[in-house]
Homo-oligomer: A and B are copies of this chain.
């Protein structure tokens, strides 16, 4: 049988929150003093019977953000509401918009911003307001899309962010992954590439997303890897990729040989960065997000509610 006080507190809550009665009026109805009513309401709240939710595409979940800050190594977190969202695309859009907002409010404004590329980053670029900053040098930190897709996606992202920041973009003129280590080393040592890589290593802040490890990965899409190769990586423990490098649940490189052929910033450099903003949302990216956060690959995580709970290890 349910406790009498519990039932009373529910009746009180109904009158308070649905009928907008004052605690005094409720007291009159239920034959209680107004103080008792106040206590019942507090009890109902404490028991979790009262659920207050902010439903809006731009709503954030501050409570979850705080939990992330407290229970992980993150220095900051942005968690967008997943209320009323059915698709992963929608979640990613919300997170991207939130990342744009975060970037706009970021102080100090980074002189140099290192960015990766991909669908999510592109959306972040779209979400930024023209003039969001006054002069930021945007640098690509990993090799770009260029094999068999529309050439310009990666470049366009960097350029858009830079233009809207009234700054300049520095592109990394190189593929993401090369077939032979020798080629990679050669390209890397080329002055045009080396300069950009050095600039990227010294960026004041980083902004990047992550990809899940499956056949829908952007690296497969761009033709750098085949679905079979990714499947093999998964077999070796890969949960996803970050700046073109596949990691396992511990945040370690899965395939050293492949990694040696990948051009771009190294994970250690990212780990040392004072500001590394990861934008990762959608149900397919829970595992990567968790790996990235727990291994300290980012200092700030922009994500959705469900992914945040997964990172906290509270998957329902």
Write the residues of chain A forming the contact surface with B, with a CB cutoff of 8 angstroms: 2, 6-7, 10, 13-15, 17-19, 44, 48-56, 58-63
Contact = CB atoms under 8 A, between A and B. Distances in A.
Given A14-B62, A49-B59, 15 more contacts: A10-B56, A13-B59, A17-B52, A17-B54, A18-B63, A19-B63, A48-B55, A49-B54, A49-B56, A50-B54, A50-B55, A51-B53, A52-B52, A52-B53, A53-B53
18 contacts: A2-B58, A6-B56, A7-B58, A10-B54, A10-B56, A13-B54, A13-B59, A17-B52, A17-B54, A18-B62, A19-B63, A50-B52, A50-B53, A51-B52, A51-B53, A51-B54, A52-B52, A53-B53
B56 A15 contact: no
What is the oligomeric copy number?
A: 2
A61 B2 contact: no
B63 A55 contact: no
A166 to B, nearest CB: 20
Q: Is the interface of A mostly helix, strand, loop or mixed?
A: mixed
A200 to B, nearest CB: 33
A19 B63 CA distance: 7
B60 A49 contact: no
A62 B19 contact: yes
Contacts of A55: 48-51
A56 B10 CA distance: 8
A253 B290 CA distance: 62
A174 to B, nearest CB: 37
B53 A10 contact: no
A56 B9 CA distance: 11
Q: Which 4 A-B pairs have the closest CB atoms?
A: A18-B62, A51-B53, A17-B52, A49-B56
Contacts of A7: 58
Given A54-B50, A55-B51, A62 B13 contact: no
A214 B291 CA distance: 53
Contacts of A61: 18
Pick from A6, A10, A19, A44 the residue with the most CB of B within 10 Å.
A10
A61 B18 CA distance: 8
